[in-house]
Amino acid sequence: MLRLALAVVSGLVLSLAFEPVAWPVLLPVAVAGFFAVVHGVRARRGLALGLAFGAAFYLTHIWWMRAVAVPAWIGLSALETFFYGLAGAAVAALTRHAPTVRWWPVWGAAAWTTAEVVRSGWPFSGMPWGRLAFAVVDTPVAPLLPWVGMVGVSFLLALASACVAHLVLTRARSWRADTAVLLGLVAGATLAGLAPYDAGDPSGTATVAAVQGDVPGPGNDVLFDHRQVTRNHVEETVRLADAVAAGEQPRPDLVVWPENSTAVDPFLDAETNQGIERAVEAVGVPVLVGAIVDDGPEHVLNQGIVWDPVTGPGERYTKWHPVPYGEYIPFRDYVDFNFGELARIKRDMRAGDRTEPLRIGEILLADAICFDVAYDDGLHAQVREGAELLTVQTSNATFIFTDQVDQQFAITRLRAIEAGKWLVVASTNGRSGIIAPDGRVVETVDRRTTATMLAEVELLPGVSPGIHLTPWVTRGVVALTLLGLLLVLIASGAVTRRSRTVAPEYADAAS
């Protein structure tokens, strides 16, 4: 019962490391608590303790999901809790058997990080929220991101936490050279991360604008009056054009509108098309429009469309990670989901796979739409192919009265740090901003306001070491976890065989 209570408390404490409380100093304490409660128990017991930890953490961490529906909050939390249970079982096994006991903090950190990696991509497109790396904004650990990436930072945080747990469990009596080496590696990596990442010389500069048009009515439903949402963005862009003409603002090279700045197909809806054309013609530069585009009678696309004042609509980015049961219904052909909130999803959203950055004049732009920013794959792919500037188009209206907005904005800032590039984020009604490569918020506006942000940014070529290394670090922690579990399986099998061999001798002696 003591372990169970500690598991629950540790999960709750971990939630405090993230927004809205954002006390990252609690992270190693909470994760060390997880390692301590599952250390040395049987795998089945580790599974139960991991489930208790995961439920306490995730139900609290995504409390904001209740804005969609209470069943969605409980269902998603239950699914993610399962992975913490598996991590608990794996760490328990790795801390009970000779082949992995001596260096168990390494094996345990790898198992934790592997669970993060797997649940961030599976099932369907996974759910990355709650990764340890997402809690380090505005901490001395954040500068490590361009060097080792999100997966690497999560591993180092888990390793440091496991070392703390080891010292607490042994009351530091078994301070061995290997423990000192592990802590030294973590400290050395952190100190190395304090050296600022230099992205090199910029290829040029650009003046960018992000428009936050606001959402009418209650503010948490873009479909309440979706045409007014589009009008808000059109009118705000025209006001920007007037300010530029009057010499009050510099002329931007690019204007970014958010996701769902139009909720109907701008190629088929005349009013929406005319509004966009009016805004683009007025400002005289390309506008990256967030639009829902028809893709046949049963599917839609969530796209960022480059709308040029001369050539019209051109290159497009399609959202990589539509939300299951939010933007599409898995297994629709086999189960009737025509009930509750799910009945509103009449057509399924297809996923995109573009890896090439958008070319907007001289700007090579990597785009992400809403939850895409929490995944490594889409942005990393575009950066590897030459992107010099990042943008996030998002519609947080559903969650505007919750802490999801702050959690996503923190992740967005961390992406700028990881890539070592400027980032422009446009939201329908919050939180929008322009972010420097070191994570500083250069421009932002209040939630539920109509406003435009402008800033001159550098176009920074190159790929940070962390983005280059992420696939290899990911493969490494997964391989290390599988190797450890294989060694445990072999060792436990050998023990079983020995016990079966010895058992008859004991039987003879007893007789």
pLDDT at 100: 79
Q: Is the pLDDT confidence value at 236 over 50?
A: yes
pLDDT digits (tens, 9 = 90+) for 247-261: 999 999 999 999 999
Cα–chain center distance at 491 = 37
pLDDT at 430 over 70: yes
Give pTM, 2 decimals: 0.93
CATH 3.60.110.10 at 204-463, yes or no: yes
How sure is the predictor about 128, in pLDDT bands with cuts at 50, 70 and 90?
Answer: very high
Give the residue among 47, 257, 14, 290 at the shortest CA–CA distance from 129.
14
Q: What is the Cα–Cα distance from 495 to 176, expressed in whole angstroms?
A: 27
| pLDDT, greater one: 404 or 345 | 404
Q: Distance between CA atoms of 131 and 128, rounded to whole angstroms?
A: 6
Q: Which of 15, 170, 13, 11 is nearest to 88 (CA)?
A: 11
User: Which pLDDT band, with edges at 50, 70 and 90, does 492 fall under?
Assistant: confident
- Mean pLDDT, range 387-413, rounded to an integer: 97
Q: Given this model, what pLDDT does residue 182 score?
A: 61
Cα 499 to the chain's mean position, in Å? Answer: 47
Q: E strand or H helix at 368, and its extent?
A: strand 363-369
Per-residue pLDDT for 503 more than 50? Answer: no
How does DSSP assign 152-195, residue by residue? HHHHHHHHHHHHHHHHHHTTTTT--HHHHHHHHHHHHHHHHHTS
Does residue 233 register a pLDDT over 90?
Answer: yes
pLDDT at position 190: 60
How confident is the model at residue 346, as a pLDDT?
A: 84
Token pair of 482 as six digits? 């599988």
Q: What is the pLDDT of residue 185?
A: 60
Query: Among 418, 423, 504, which residue's Cα sits nearest to residue 142?
Result: 418
Residue 381 has pLDDT above 80, yes or no: yes
Q: Give me the mean pLDDT over the 257-269 stretch.
A: 96
Q: What single-letter amino acid sits at 452?
A: T
Q: Helical H runs in 284-426?
A: 377-384, 404-419
How confident is residue 96, by pLDDT bands cut at 50, 70 and 90? Answer: confident
Q: What is the mean pLDDT of residues 191-207?
A: 82
- pLDDT beyond 60 at 52: yes
pLDDT at residue 505 greater than cutoff 80: no
- Residue where the block lists tokens 């098309």: 273
The yes-or-no verdict on residue 7 having pLDDT over 80 is yes
> Residue ranges per domain, the chain?
2-197+467-499, 204-463
Among 14, 122, 18, smallest CA distance to 411 is for 18
Mean predicted lDDT score pLDDT of the chain: 91
Average pLDDT for residues 430-453, to the nearest whole number? 96
Residue 331: per-residue pLDDT: 81
Bridge partner list, 288: 256, 306
pLDDT of residue 387 exceeding 90:
yes
Specify the pLDDT at position 169.
86
Across the range 133-146, mean pLDDT stands at 95
Q: What is the predicted pLDDT for the residue at 176?
A: 56
Tell me what the mean pLDDT of segment 230-251 comes to.
Answer: 97
- Whether the CB-CB separation of 460 and 422 falls below 8 Å is answered with yes
Sorting pLDDT into bands at 50, 70 and 90, what band is 429? very high
Task: State mean pLDDT over 391-402.
Answer: 96
Sign of CA dihedral 263, 441, 387, 362: positive
In this predicted structure, what is the pLDDT of residue 507? Answer: 39
Is pLDDT above 80 for 508?
no
Q: What is the pLDDT of residues 143-170, one digit of tens each?
A: 999 999 999 999 999 999 998 898 888 8
Burial pattern 64-73, b for ≥16 Cβ within 10 A else e, equals bbebbeeebb
Question: 14: which residues sit within 8 A by CB, 6+ positions away?
Answer: 26, 27, 30, 31, 34, 57, 61
Distance separating alpha carbons of residues 481 and 83, to the nearest angstrom: 14
pLDDT at res. 325? 86
Report the pLDDT value the prediction gives residue 506, as an integer from 0 to 100. 37
Do the Cβ atoms of 155 and 185 come closer than 8 Å?
no
